[in-house]
Chain A
Amino acid sequence: KAGVTQTPRYLIKTRGQQVTLSCSPISGHRSVSWYQQTPGQGLQFLFEYFSETQRNKGNFPGRFSGRQFSNSRSEMNVSTLELGDSALYLCASSPPETFYYEQYFGPGTRLTVT
């Protein structure tokens, strides 16, 4: 099976702009989670989608949003970018048979805000 894919891999945006990141989960995985990773903060949970519904949400401002499509592909959007949004954004998908503790991560999208 193909792994989790994320596009684009690298992105440079200007403060105030918005950005959309895409994630394609492993075939058959219906749960998709998004994380922000920075050197000082580790892995911060953004949200999780399951069957097109947001099931869990982390403590991020409303500028961060996401959605999931019927084919389980997911997108996350960040509006009004701030310098502090510069980070590696990771997407992970989970199979139901492990009750979602086993997450398969993509390579991430490196977002730089200038």
Chain B
Amino acid sequence: QQQVKQSPQSLIVQKGGISIINCAYENTAFDYFPWYQQFPGKGPALLIAIRPDVSEKKEGRFTISFNKSAKQFSLHIMDSQPGDSATYFCAARLDSNYQLIWGAGTKLIIKP
């Protein structure tokens, strides 16, 4: 199965709170798990990425947690700010042909 299931579809978080977006996969032939951020009127932009041999990666307020045995990975946004309001996509790269398989996206709204 070449699917990546992303949840929730939408999320509202208060300013200063923690935003958590989850993704799950079944195919073990994925070898890279990037997260993309998309603002209205713009194309998605790479936010942070992780390899399956790493359990956590942190860049500023953004952290990816990876659970290889559960085939799940999640994005945590600490101290969420109104400027973080965007649509977030998780993805997974197939190791056979480098194709990215995308989650359906999560629309995140940070309330001031």
Residues of A in contact with B (beta carbons under 8 Å apart): 4, 31, 33, 42-43, 45, 48, 55-56, 90, 92, 99-108
Contact = CB atoms under 8 A, between A and B. Distances in A.
Contact of A90 (B34, B43, B99, B101): B43
Q: Interface centre among A42, A45, A48, A101, by most B CB within 10 Å?
A: A101
B61 interface: no
A95 to B, nearest CB: 11
A91 to B, nearest CB: 8
Interface string B11-51: 00000000000000000000010101000011111100100
A101 B93 CA distance: 6
A105 B43 contact: yes
Query: What is the interface residue range for chain B against chain A?
Result: 20 to 34
Contacts, number: 56
Given A43-B105, A45-B100, A102 B34 contact: yes
A100 B101 CA distance: 12
Nearest to B94: A56
9 contacts: A31-B98, A43-B102, A45-B99, A45-B101, A56-B97, A90-B44, A99-B98, A103-B36, A105-B43
A14 to B, nearest CB: 25
Contacts of A31: 98
B73 interface: no
B89 A43 contact: yes
Q: Interface centre among A55, A102, A108, by most B CB within 10 Å?
A: A102
Given A43-B89, A92-B43, A108-B43, A103 B100 contact: yes
